[in-house]
Structure formats: C-alpha cells, structure tokens
Amino acid sequence: MDARLRKSRAIAMLFLAAGLVLAGPWVGWSPNLILVGVALAFVLVKRLIARSNKPEWPIALGWLLSMAAIAGGVLLTGGADSPAKSWLVVSAIALPARFHNRGLYAGVAITVLALAAVTIGANPDLVGDAPQLFIFPVALIGAAVAMSMALRNAEIEHRTVAVIDPLTGMLNRKALESRTVELEVQSRVTGQPIGLIVCDIDHFKRVNDEHGHSMGDAVLKDVAYRIRKELRAYDLAYRLGGEEFLVLVPGADRGDGYELAERLRRVIEGGAVEGVPVTASFGVAASGQEGLDFDALFKAADEALYSAKSAGRNRVHVGDGAVAPSLA
C-alpha cells in the first residue's frame, strides 16, 4: 500500500507546495524550506525501506516527517490562526492505508497532539477565546480518518476475496505473485534461503472419475487442511490450481525442505478421505545465498515433482537432481 501511495503522496505534496508558493507574499517564504527538507527526507526513507527487513519502521518514520513538516508549516503561518491547520488531515488520511488499527490509533493521537501543540501551545489565549480553532480541525481529522477506514476495510475485503481459494481456504496463485516479490527482496537483505515445495495429489483424476467431483472437492479440502496443520505461522501454503499445491518456507535449505515435504507426505498418506486412500508426490528446491529467483526455483521444484511422479509417485524428490530414498 505504501508503494501505491507514493504517486498520490507526491501529488498531494505538490498541491501543498503550490499553496505555500502562491500565498508566499502574505505568509512569508520560510515555510517553503520545510518542503525542501521533507523532499530530501523522503529520498532517504525510500532507501531505508528498500534495505530494511522491517519496512514498517521506515514507513512510520516517513509519515512522522510529513506530519511534522505540515505542523511546522502551520506554526510558521500563524499557529492557531493559520488557514493551513486543516492540512494535517493529509497525514491523518493516509494512516488507514498503511497501518493496522494499533498504528492507526497511535497516528491519530500523534496528529491531534501536533495540532494541539501548534494551536493551543502556540496561542493559548487565542484558542481560549475561540476553542473552535482547535475543535473544528480535530473533528475534520476524525471524520476523514473514519471515511478512509471504510475504504481501507472495503479494499481488504476485496483483496481477501481475490487472493483466497474458496474451496480450500488457501491462498491462490494471485496471492503468490505479490508474495514472491516480497520474498525476493527479503532474501537479498537477509541472505537466508527460501525453501519451495510443490505437491501434486496422486491419481486425482481417477478420484473424480470413480467417485465424483464432490469427493474430489472433499479430498482437496482435506489435503489442504493437513498441509496447513503441519506448517509454522510464517510458512505459506497456496493452491496453484487443480490438485497442485505450493509451500514457501522462509529460512529453509534443501534439507529442511525435504524433511517438511516428507512429513507432509506421511500425513497425507496416513488417513483415507471417506474411505478413499490419498497420496501425494513432492518436489523440493531452495534458494542459495545469492538470493531468490522465484521462477528458477519453481522450475527446479517442478522438475523434481515430475521426477517423483515418474518414479512411482508418493515420494519426495529434491530439485538439485538428488533423489530422496524410495518411499513407495
């Protein structure tokens, strides 16, 4: 979401800059120096985000800088009497798109405190005589954030529907596309391997042909449940389509990936679904210290899966050409 906001944020800052320039003869030119500093700060923050394995912290820093700059502009253009007080809503309205509720509430509180500092703190007597100079901007901030939250929640709901497989409850191929970009950046930053496991249910077409598609759906849901139950909180499982699944395992090398795939194989084999025996074949690959190339990694795992199925199914093969002991 922060990446999506960059263009809009730049346009918003251009509007504010234009307002300060046009009003320069009346409010002075010093507020424009703040905009120069903010522009330089955003260049630094962008670099920090690209290099950080916790990008939420540089993003929060960038938001604080923009909010502080606007508050500084309010202070330099009249404090409580400044017509720029409402500009603080620009920072507040971006909060729901970037942060979960805890960060959102903290951001709103910081914005209101900043408004209090540049109004009540700067001109206590003026605000005492006309408290609406503080109350009205606070009400505007609250209303704008509430509207932005509604849009954020609608976006989350839409994205959830778009990336969740309705049958199994697993993430789908579309969700995988966005996640791989994040993992490629993460692997370059941390140098840790990323394990990839592809799984294909054996003879799934036969299940559909002999027992019907409702049984096929039951098998898919049961296999998806067994896979998810064996994974850690930060491992991610996807249904690629049909009877094929994929698991991403951050921090796992080929050995770790093989051990997990073998555990999944045994769990799937261990219980029939409504009397129908189920097995699956697995291909495993892992990135090295050079970082993650997802397309190459997926190709290696997919070739290993094909090798496992060609060798008799219900087994795990590793993508570097090494074959795990026969498990048929």
The 3-state DSSP class for residue 312 equals coil
Active site residue 157: no
CA distance 302 to 296: 10
Catalytic entry in 177, 184, 243, 290? 243
Q: Which of 256, 312, 316 has its CA nearest to residue 283?
A: 316
CB burial string 175-210: b at 16+ within 10 A, e below: bbeebbeebbbbbeeeebbbbbbbbbbbebeebbee
CA distance 290 to 253: 13
CA distance 151 to 197: 36
CA distance 137 to 85: 7
As annotated, the active-site residues are 243
